[in-house]
Amino acid sequence: MEGKLSSVAKNFTPSSIQELSQLAQKCNAINLAEGFPDFPAPPCIKEAAVSAINNDFNQYRRVQGICDQLALKMKKTHGLNVNPLTDIAICCGQSEAFAAAIFSIINQGDEVLLFDPCYETYEGCITLAGGIPVYVALEPPQWTLDPEKLMRSFTSRTKAIVLNSPHNPTGKVFSRDELEIIAEGCRQWDCVAITDEVYEYITYDNQKHETIAKLPGMQERTIITSSLSKTFSVTGWRIGWAIAPASAIQNIHIRITDSAPAPFQEAALTALRSPIEYFETLRGEYELKRDFCMKLLGSIGFRIQFKPQGSLFLFAELPKDCLLSDVEYVEELIKQAGVVVVPGRGFFHGNESCNYQKRYIRVAFCKSGATLNAAAQKFGELINAKACPKILY
């Protein structure tokens, strides 16, 4: 079969995040690598899913009520008028929604701008569609957007720009000024903005998420993708959506997967009707977890010059005197401490001569208090034993 693989398949390699998660299982290591919660989802939505199964909602299905709820949310939160009958596709998670969005607009040779560092899945979808990823580096340590660099990246071949805010892996929330700059580029070059807004409810320190679609002239050129996964701790349910004016995404979705899981669509209705207190509690709990991990990593010498404004991740720079690369550090951490995190280089795609690209790790703090305390204990044991001089400073 090896000789029959397509050129695209030959260039795809296993996800470093998944590989590390598998290694963590083999080594019985504490998994701070993969961005899924290890604590229970809200009981009310689990009960709704069980009820749907018991009531035989088990066949192909499109639950129009989800679209109705999302349209109401878009109007209330962002002031956008969305037609729930034509403008929303329910997909198998944000990943499929993003893929369907790409397949609906990208032709062979079209360029797609992405901000670097970025989530690894985007590039694969663009490549599968025949598109060409073009990376625009955010400037460390604050991960700022250089307007001139962005504008130089647009060409006559640019078809779309991908905007993930709150941002994985850095935790950056793009400011209104930055959104205005991106929107100006889209309008000037007649490009589509494809957004990944899965962390829209997970922001900190009074930061607020804004969608670029609300800016002048942008709703008609924006595809919003998001999901239930992160907000409701159900990453395995695979319920997501794409929102765009009368788009072809629904047709693409039907040809890829046909239907998102029917019982979980029913449960999504319960989730989307959650009171505002749920989202406030979620934000507060994750903010405490973020602060716990910042303190923990700071105590062992990590340089945290950027405090995450949103998402579920901490993108931390290795200790100044550490001679290891990010990959070497992660390997030592697994062996010596029994804790696994993600090497940062997997999120970078630009100029490899930039040394900082091998100096970061990503830590997922969407874990239970027990898991985070266990990780802290592992680090504490190393410090007390004065072990592992390679990774403790």
CA distance 206 to 131: 37
**Are the C-beta atoms of residues 256 and 99 closer than 8 Å to each other?**
yes
Helix (H, G, I), strand (E, B) or coil at 384: helix
Inter-helix orientation angle 121-128/93-105, to 10°: 40
**Are the C-beta atoms of residues 366 and 289 closer than 8 Å to each other?**
yes
CATH topology identical between 2-40+277-387 and 43-274: no
Q: What pLDDT digit, counting tens, does each position of 342-364 carry?
A: 999 999 997 666 778 999 999 99
Domain 2-40+277-387 grouped into CATH 3.90.1150.10: yes
Per-residue model confidence (pLDDT) at position 36: 93
CA distance 27 to 30: 9
Token pair belonging to 339: 């804790």
CA distance 81 to 219: 9
CA distance 161 to 194: 6
Side-by-side strand order, sheet with 342-343: 313-317, 360-364, 342-343
Per-residue model confidence (pLDDT) at position 12: 79
* Residue extents of the structural domains in the chain: 2-40+277-387, 43-274
Whole-model pTM?
0.95
* 155 conformational bin, left if phi > 0, alpha if psi -120 to 50, beta if neither: beta
Which of 77, 74, 55, 128 shows the shortest CA–CA distance to 98? 128
Per-residue model confidence (pLDDT) at position 9: 82
Per-residue model confidence (pLDDT) at position 247: 78
Per-residue model confidence (pLDDT) at position 22: 74
Which of 32, 116, 156, 92 shows the shortest CA–CA distance to 347? 116
Q: Is residue 89 exposed (0-12), middle (13-18) or buried (19+ Cβ within 10 Å)?
A: buried
CA distance 179 to 119: 19
| Mean pLDDT per 10-residue section of the chain, whose length is 393 residues | 81 72 78 93 98 97 96 97 97 97 97 96 95 97 97 98 98 98 98 98 96 98 98 98 92 94 98 97 98 94 95 95 90 89 91 80 97 93 61 56
DSSP-derived letter for residue 144 is B
Mind giving me the DSSP string for 153-207? H--TTEEEEEEESS-TTT-----HHHHHHHHHHHHHHT-EEEEE-TTTT-B-TT-
Helix (H, G, I), strand (E, B) or coil at 62: coil
Q: What pLDDT digit, counting tens, does each position of 146-167 carry?
A: 999 999 999 999 999 999 999 9
CA distance 300 to 383: 8
Per-residue model confidence (pLDDT) at position 16: 67
**Are the C-beta atoms of residues 118 and 137 closer than 8 Å to each other?**
no
Q: How many helices (H) and strands (E) does the chain have?
A: 13, 12
Inter-helix orientation angle 43-54/262-272, to 10°: 140
CA distance 268 to 315: 31
Per-residue model confidence (pLDDT) at position 121: 92
1.10.150.120, 3.20.20.140, 3.40.190.10, 3.40.640.10: CATH of 43-274: 3.40.640.10
